[in-house]
């Protein structure tokens, strides 16, 4: 790297990556819980893809029944702790809170959910559910991210044996490796996996399906298989120079700083992040917090089209990230290492087939941005090749096709959910789809047993 | 500006706000500070043979995030020597000649003891006496306080003894710990009382510590029942004041006590006939400074309503306190929901369906209840069942079995996130409607609704003349 940002002190790092949202004290939680109207057939429940009984768990916080509260949450969503931290609540439960219609701020459902789930983990995971005896049927789950964990927990609670395989050294998927530290630590994610394991689910890490074991073998040896492999790496920029040292794709960058000590993660003095999704924000704020002096986010469309949620955008602005709208990279320049990024100004042209205005370069507007590091964050690749290796698996737009009612793929006994099906959504969607597939698996195996 | 001054049985007070006998009026310094801040009068904490108090003494009941909805105490009367109290009373009265200084008294049930304390107290120049026949703990076991107030004969007897020597007005403070407060009230008036004050505190245990199973307030691993006061007791106090104020055998000035915290509370007691009001818990919660808004708020309201003096609205609510049997059976209101204001919480709906009179529905157009009523009713009932079914699955059945979640009977697959369910459209589909033909006008929906003015009770013309139960009975007899 041409100009590496100077290392910060450990105090600075821990301050920069400290919890962005302070947990509620008991008094605060009880007071906030008192704001909940306890709606009937509450719209927040509907808005949550896992349908947590939100007024129910809030009532239990208010009534000093934290265990009951944690049980209601984890009953509907075994990853309730990470969802409490990373859910885009204003687009889900809090967005649906009826208090919005009363010109009030909605009940802080996410923070209350965190209060109960924190209690659960701080108390050493007291037993919440009576588990049925194993029914003798086994399900293999490929990938140990949110979708598989959601599926496995539901399966185990229905009596199935569930075994997760993950090629990474640690389970949890993007919850472990891909979420900004100040939202959720690696340990938070691993604790949650421990909870799922405490239900009797097995997790085998460092096992790559397709290399160490074949999907066909799993389909043969297990009663059903769940595919929760998520997506691949970040798309390449596809411009000259995108292989230069100093070009680090966003998810890899986040993974590095979450698995190494902060000081070991190289970050440039001047950093350009390409793309304006939520992961781009996570990467840009991480660069700032690791010591980058100037950080830009380049987006080829305008502010209005930005996919990042508003609060993520606000966070980046607070961190001093400079947004360059209608700007696209043309070439990464540098001899041996990144020295700059040649960019071009864009304008919004005719709408494309999805109705989004198509950005087009304005000739003669090229300029050079002097940067030491380029972080592409323009979406994850689909695991097309890997998925194509599964015989008979139907894909559409590179996504796994499933029956929306059961989660079953075109391969009998093979189910799927999460990012590889939905193309990349929230943790809570992955869990919901995992749960749905668990019910589908139960239905499928029960029907098979009956014939 | 409205004139707040009053005369209570001849005692002048610059405003109707008196500090009630209790911890706030335990010493001269406290009472002086209170007068400086604007209190019109003070009833000195009960003077008698000094007692020994326990530790701790108070406990409370919180409601939601609001502290001290109700306060309970096991403190006794003054623990200071009688001479000290009397000296300070004389001093205060000298410094504040225009303020009302009333002294609460409690001594053994002996004629000489009462004669003695009355004479010594009146020598201080105090404006009046309040006989404490209400204290529900500690003193009652010794034959004083509530032990006197609960036996009308004792009450009459002691008031008579006091009146034998008293030169200033004698107020009797009534205990609410009786079946009918009018009996001790009448007994006091029979004995010659010049005024009544009510209510004293209500027997109470505020709560149990579930860790060590000790009631509160704790005194070395045990507790005792105490006296309950504060906002929680106001409705009980208002009723008892209304009972006394409406009783022909209790035609004396009243001083209202019980949970008064704001000028509105005070105005309500005055509207039921009280001349003065006494405040204790609110002062203990926020300090003496609260009197500023008590007086300011009351004066502003009186100005707006055109009341120049307290007398102008005193007792105005009393003629409207009626026996149930005289209420009009043909008066009818029905609930009406403002669809624009409704936020869709559906608390009215579940309250009406589960616990009231089953006339609020969700999910079908309200217009449908008119025209084709049989079909509409069936649809509505169906909608209600469906909605209840959804809630049952959300609230009680294990939600981890991921059945397709339903909204208005339509399954919503979990693969679809909730994004489409936000905004005003989401609100509109949740607005309940009232089948007014079935509505009995009970008010419950309006009471549970969190949005002001969203549910109103609309008067209906029944076309029938007023008819009370008593009239109905008479007609049936004739």
Domain that holds residue A368: 250-376
Q: Which residues of B touch A157 (CB under 8 A)?
A: 400
* Phi then psi dihedrals of residue B89, to 5 deg: -60, -45
Residue A100's closest chain B neighbor by CA? B343
How far apart CA A421 and CA A414 sit, in angstroms, is 13
Q: Which residues of A touch B349 (CB under 8 A)?
A: 40
* Phi then psi dihedrals of residue A439, to 5 deg: -65, -40
In total, the C-beta contacts within 8 angstroms joining chain A to chain B are: 123
Q: Of B347, B405, B450, which is closest to A46 when you measure between CB atoms?
A: B405
Q: Does A135 touch chain B (CB under 8 A)?
A: no
Q: Give, for A203, the enclosing helix (H) or strand (E).
A: strand A202-205
Does A49 contact B407 at a Cβ distance shorter than 8 Å? Answer: no
Is residue B43 helix, strand or coil?
strand
Six token digits for residue A294: 């100037």
Averaged pLDDT score across all residues of chain B: 89
- Best of A41, A404, A409 to disrupt the B interface (most B CBs within 10 Å) is A41
In angstroms, the Cα distances linking B307 to A233, B27, B135, B294 are 78, 35, 36, 16
Confidence of residue B394 (pLDDT cuts 50, 70, 90): very low
Q: Which residues of B touch A48 (CB under 8 A)?
A: 418
Residue A407's closest chain B neighbor by CA? B415
Q: Is A286 in the same domain as A346?
A: yes
pLDDT above 70 for B403 = no
Q: Which residues of A touch B405 (CB under 8 A)?
A: 45-46, 51
Mean pLDDT per segment of 10 residues, for chain A of length 451 residues? 93 94 95 95 91 96 96 97 95 93 95 98 96 96 98 97 97 96 95 97 96 95 97 93 96 95 95 96 97 97 92 95 97 96 95 86 97 96 92 94 95 97 94 96 95 84
B409 dihedral zone (left: phi>0; alpha: psi -120 to 50; beta) = left
Six token digits for residue A277: 């999704």
Structural domain total, chain A: 3
- Find residues 16-55 of chain A whose CB sits inside 8 Å of chain B: 30-31, 34, 37-43, 45-53
Six token digits for residue B389: 């079914």
Q: What average pLDDT does this structure show over B316-322?
A: 97
Min Cα distance B454 → chain A (Å) is: 11
Which of A54, A89, A122 lies at the terminal end of a domain, its last residue?
A: A122
Residue A58, domain CATH: 1.10.1060.10
Residue A218, domain CATH: 3.50.50.60
Q: Is A186 in the same domain as A228?
A: yes
- Exposure string of B290-313, with b = 16+ CB inside 10 Å and e = fewer, is bbeebbeebbebbeeeebeebeeb
How far apart CA B154 and CA B188 sit, in angstroms, is 9
Q: What average pLDDT does this structure show over B25-44?
A: 98
Does B415 contact A433 at a Cβ distance shorter than 8 Å? Answer: yes
Six token digits for residue B347: 């608390």
Min Cα distance A67 → chain B (Å) is: 16
* CB contact at 8 A, A115 and A109: no
Preceding peptide of B217 cis, ω within 30°: yes
Is residue B438 helix, strand or coil?
coil
* CB contact at 8 A, A338 and A240: no
Summarised one tens digit per residue, pLDDT across range B114-143 is 999 999 999 999 999 999 998 888 888 888
Q: Is A414 in the same domain as A306?
A: no
Q: Of A56, A95, A158, which is closest to B395 when you measure between CB atoms?
A: A56
Within-domain flag for A3: no
Q: Is A178 in the same domain as A268?
A: no
pLDDT at B422: 64
* Phi then psi dihedrals of residue B435, to 5 deg: -85, 90
Q: Does A154 touch chain B (CB under 8 A)?
A: yes
Q: Does B387 touch chain A (CB under 8 A)?
A: yes
Q: Give, for A54, the enclosing helix (H) or strand (E).
A: helix A54-62
Confidence of residue B175 (pLDDT cuts 50, 70, 90): very high
- Find residues 87-106 of chain A whose CB sits inside 8 Å of chain B: 91-93, 95-96, 98-99, 101-102
For residues B71, B74, B78 and B80, what is the CA-based torsion angle, rounded to 10 degrees?
-120
Q: Is A268 in the same domain as A228?
A: no
How far apart CA A424 and CA A399 sit, in angstroms, is 10
How far apart CA A27 and CA A319 sit, in angstroms, is 30
Residue B135 known to be catalytic: yes
Which of A376, A392, A423 lies at the terminal end of a domain, its last residue?
A: A376
Six token digits for residue A410: 């075109």
Partner residues linked to B227 by β-bridges = B73, B203
Within-domain flag for A25: no
Spatial CB neighbours of A225, under 8 Å, sequence gap ≥ 6: A139, A140, A141, A142, A215, A218, A219, A413, A414, A415
Q: Is A282 exposed, middle or buried (0-12, 13-18, 19+ CB in 10 A)?
A: buried
Confidence of residue B376 (pLDDT cuts 50, 70, 90): low
Q: What average pLDDT does this structure show over B333-345?
A: 96
Confidence of residue B64 (pLDDT cuts 50, 70, 90): confident
How far apart CA A172 and CA B268 sit, in angstroms, is 63
- Find residues 152-191 of chain B whose CB sits inside 8 Å of chain A: none
How far apart CA A281 and CA A301 sit, in angstroms, is 16
Q: Is A301 in the same domain as A395?
A: no
Does A41 contact B65 at a Cβ distance shorter than 8 Å? Answer: no
Q: Is A257 in the same domain as A362?
A: yes
pLDDT above 80 for B374 = no
Partner residues linked to A361 by β-bridges = A346
Q: Is A75 in the same domain as A145?
A: no
Q: Is A435 in the same domain as A396?
A: yes
pLDDT at B408: 40
Q: Of A30, A38, A433, which is closest to B414 when you measure between CB atoms?
A: A433
Within-domain flag for A159: yes
CB atoms within 10 A of CB B336: 17
pLDDT above 60 for B377 = no
Q: Give, for B17, the enclosing helix (H) or strand (E).
A: strand B17-19
The closest of B190, B186, B139, B200 to B163, measured between CA atoms, is B190
Share of chain B above pLDDT 70, in %: 88
Does A34 contact B64 at a Cβ distance shorter than 8 Å? Answer: yes
Alpha carbon distance, N-terminus to C-terminus of chain A: 64
pLDDT above 70 for B478 = yes
pLDDT at A352: 84
Confidence of residue B359 (pLDDT cuts 50, 70, 90): very high
Summarised one tens digit per residue, pLDDT across range B206-264 is 999 999 999 999 999 999 999 999 999 999 999 999 999 999 999 999 999 999 999 99
Does B422 contact A422 at a Cβ distance shorter than 8 Å? Answer: no
| Residue indicated by tokens 């293999």 | A140
Within-domain flag for A65: yes
Within-domain flag for A22: no
- Per-residue H/E/C for A285-315: HHHHHHCCCEEEEECCCCHHHCCCCHHHHHH
CA B120, distance to chain mean position in Å, is: 36
Q: Which of B55, B135, B250, B345 is catalytic?
A: B135
Does B413 contact A37 at a Cβ distance shorter than 8 Å? Answer: no
Q: Does A56 touch chain B (CB under 8 A)?
A: yes
Does A405 contact B349 at a Cβ distance shorter than 8 Å? Answer: no
- Best of A33, A53, A101, A433 to disrupt the B interface (most B CBs within 10 Å) is A101
Does A34 contact B65 at a Cβ distance shorter than 8 Å? Answer: yes
Within-domain flag for A16: no
Is residue A103 helix, strand or coil?
coil
Summarised one tens digit per residue, pLDDT across range A8-53 is 999 999 999 999 989 999 999 999 999 999 999 899 998 999 999 9
Confidence of residue B396 (pLDDT cuts 50, 70, 90): very low
Within-domain flag for A164: yes
Partner residues linked to B406 by β-bridges = B411
pLDDT at B146: 87
C-alpha triplet B251, B255, B259: angle, nearest 5°: 135
Within-domain flag for A364: yes
Does A154 contact B344 at a Cβ distance shorter than 8 Å? Answer: no
Summarised one tens digit per residue, pLDDT across range B288-297 is 999 999 999 9
pLDDT at B371: 45
Please compute Rg for chain B using Cα positions: 28
Which of A328, A348, A376 lies at the terminal end of a domain, its last residue?
A: A376
pLDDT at B423: 73
Is residue B302 helix, strand or coil?
helix
How far apart CA B145 and CA B139 sit, in angstroms, is 6
Q: Is A272 in the same domain as A156?
A: no
Does A39 contact B65 at a Cβ distance shorter than 8 Å? Answer: no
Q: Which residues of B touch A404 (CB under 8 A)?
A: 413, 415
| DSSP symbol at B418 | G
Q: Is A307 in the same domain as A209?
A: no
Q: Is B43 exposed, middle or buried (0-12, 13-18, 19+ CB in 10 A)?
A: buried
Does B347 contact A30 at a Cβ distance shorter than 8 Å? Answer: no
pLDDT at B365: 52
Six token digits for residue B12: 């002048």
Residue B346's closest chain A neighbor by CA? A40
In angstroms, the Cα distances linking B277 to B230, B270, B301 are 14, 8, 17
* Phi then psi dihedrals of residue A37, to 5 deg: -80, -10
This prediction's pTM: 0.87
How far apart CA B267 and CA B282 sit, in angstroms, is 16
Confidence of residue B411 (pLDDT cuts 50, 70, 90): very low
Q: Is A259 in the same domain as A352?
A: yes
* Phi then psi dihedrals of residue A189, to 5 deg: -65, -40
* CB contact at 8 A, A336 and A1: no
pLDDT at B278: 98
pLDDT at B421: 53
Residue B384's closest chain A neighbor by CA? A41
Alpha carbon distance, N-terminus to C-terminus of chain B: 55
- Find residues 422-451 of chain B whose CB sits inside 8 Å of chain A: 422, 424, 426-427, 430, 450-451
How far apart CA A168 and CA A206 sit, in angstroms, is 5
Does B347 contact A422 at a Cβ distance shorter than 8 Å? Answer: no
């Amino acid at each position: 790297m041409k100009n590496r940002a100077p290392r910060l002190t450990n105090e600075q790092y821990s301050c920069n990556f400290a919890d962005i949202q302070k947990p509620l004290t008991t008094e605060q939680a009880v007071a906030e819980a008192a704001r909940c109207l306890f709606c009937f057939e509450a719209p927040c429940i509907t808005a949550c893809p896992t349908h947590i009984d939100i007024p129910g768990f809030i009532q239990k916080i208010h009534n000093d029944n934290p265990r009951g509260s944690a049980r209601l949450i984890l009953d509907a969503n075994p990853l309730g702790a990470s969802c409490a931290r990373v859910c885009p609540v204003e687009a889900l439960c809090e967005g649906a809170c009826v208090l919005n219609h009363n010109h009030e701020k909605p009940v802080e459902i996410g923070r209350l959910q965190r209060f109960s789930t924190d209690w659960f983990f701080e108390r050493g995971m007291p037993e919440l559910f009576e588990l049925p005896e194993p029914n003798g049927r086994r399900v293999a789950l490929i990938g140990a991210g949110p979708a598989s964990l959601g599926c496995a927990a539901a399966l185990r609670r229905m009596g199935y044996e569930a075994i997760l395989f993950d090629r990474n050294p640690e389970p949890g998927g993007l919850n472990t490796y891909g979420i900004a530290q100040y939202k959720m630590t690696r340990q938070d994610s691993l604790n949650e996996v421990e909870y799922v394991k405490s239900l009797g689910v097995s997790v085998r890490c460092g096992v790559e399906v397709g290399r160490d074991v074949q999907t066909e073998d799993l389909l043969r040896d297990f009663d059903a298989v769940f595919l929760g492999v998520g997506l691949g790496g970040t798309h390449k920029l596809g411009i000259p120079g995108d292989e230069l040292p100093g070009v680090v794709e966003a998810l890899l960058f986040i993974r590095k700083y979450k698995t190494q000590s902060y000081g070991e993660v190289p970050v440039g003095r001047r950093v350009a992040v390409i793309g304006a999704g939520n992961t781009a924000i996570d990467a840009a704020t991480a660069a700032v917090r690791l010591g980058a002096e100037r950080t830009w986010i380049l987006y080829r469309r305008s502010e209005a089209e930005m996919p990042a949620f508003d609060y993520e955008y606000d966070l980046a602005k607070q961190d001093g990230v400079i947004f360059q709208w209608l700007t696209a990279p043309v070439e990464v320049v540098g001899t041996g290492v990144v020295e700059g990024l040649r960019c071009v100004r864009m304008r919004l042209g005719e709408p494309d087939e999805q109705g989004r205005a198509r950005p087009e370069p304005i000739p003669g507007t090229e300029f050079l941005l002097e940067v030491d590091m380029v972080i592409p964050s323009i979406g994850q690749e689909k695991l097309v090749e890997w998925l194509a290796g599964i015989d008979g698996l139907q894909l559409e737009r590179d996504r796994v096709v499933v029956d929306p009612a059961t989660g079953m793929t075109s391969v009998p006994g093979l189910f799927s959910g999460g990012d590889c099906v939905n193309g990349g959504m929230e943790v809570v969607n992955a869990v919901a789809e995992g749960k749905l597939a668990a019910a589908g698996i139960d239905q499928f195996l029960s029907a098979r047993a009956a014939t | 500006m409205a004139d707040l001054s009053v005369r209570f049985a001849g005692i002048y007070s610059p405003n109707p706000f008196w500090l009630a006998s209790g911890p706030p009026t335990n010493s001269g310094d406290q009472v002086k500070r209170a007068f400086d801040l604007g209190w019109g009068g003070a009833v000195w904490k009960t003077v008698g043979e000094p007692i020994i108090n326990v530790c701790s003494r108070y406990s409370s009941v919180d409601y939601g995030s609001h502290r001290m909805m109700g306060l309970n105490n096991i403190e006794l009367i003054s623990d200071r020597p009688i001479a000290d109290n009397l000296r300070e009373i004389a001093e205060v009265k000298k410094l504040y000649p225009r303020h009302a200084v009333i002294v609460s008294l409690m001594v053994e049930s002996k004629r000489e003891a009462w004669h003695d304390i009355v004479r010594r107290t009146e020598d201080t120049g105090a404006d009046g006496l309040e006989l404490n026949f209400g204290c529900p703990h500690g003193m009652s076991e010794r034959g004083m306080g509530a032990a006197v107030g609960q036996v009308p004969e004792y009450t009459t007897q002691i008031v008579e003894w006091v009146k034998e020597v008293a030169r200033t007005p004698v107020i009797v403070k009534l205990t609410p710990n009786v079946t009918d407060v009018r009996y001790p009230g009448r007994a006091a008036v029979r004995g010659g009382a010049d005024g009544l004050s009510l209510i004293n505190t209500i027997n109470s245990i505020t709560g149990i510590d579930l860790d060590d199973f000790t009631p509160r307030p704790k005194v070395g691993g045990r507790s005792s029942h105490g006296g309950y006061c504060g906002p929680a007791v106001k409705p009980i106090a208002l009723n008892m004041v209304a009972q006394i104020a409406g009783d022909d055998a209790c035609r004396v000035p009243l001083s209202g006590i019980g949970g008064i915290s704001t000028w509105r509370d005070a105005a309500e007691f005055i509207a039921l006939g009280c001349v003065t009001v006494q405040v204790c818990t609110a002062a203990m919660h926020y300090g003496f400074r609260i009197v500023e808004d008590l007086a300011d708020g009351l004066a502003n309201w009186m100005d707006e309503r055109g009341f120049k003096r307290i007398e102008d609205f005193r007792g105005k609510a009393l003629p409207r306190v009626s026996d149930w049997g005289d209420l009009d059976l043909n008066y009818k209101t029905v609930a009406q929901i403002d669809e624009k204001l409704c936020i869709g919480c559906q608390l009215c709906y579940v309250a009406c369906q589960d616990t009231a009179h089953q006339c609020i529905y969700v999910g079908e157009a309200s217009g449908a209840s008119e025209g084709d009523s049989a079909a509409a009713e069936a649809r509505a009932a169906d909608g209600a069942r469906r909605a209840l079914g959804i809630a049952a699955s959300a609230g009680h059945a294990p939600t981890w079995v991921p059945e397709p979640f339903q909204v208005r009977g339509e399954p919503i697959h979990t693969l679809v996130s909730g994004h489409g369910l936000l905004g005003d459209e989401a609100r509109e589909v949740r607005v309940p409607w009232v089948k007014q033909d079935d509505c009995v006008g009970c008010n419950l929906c309006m009471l549970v609704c969190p949005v002001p003015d969203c549910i109103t009770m609309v008067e209906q013309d029944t076309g029938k003349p007023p008819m009370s139960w008593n009239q109905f009975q008479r007609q049936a007899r004739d």
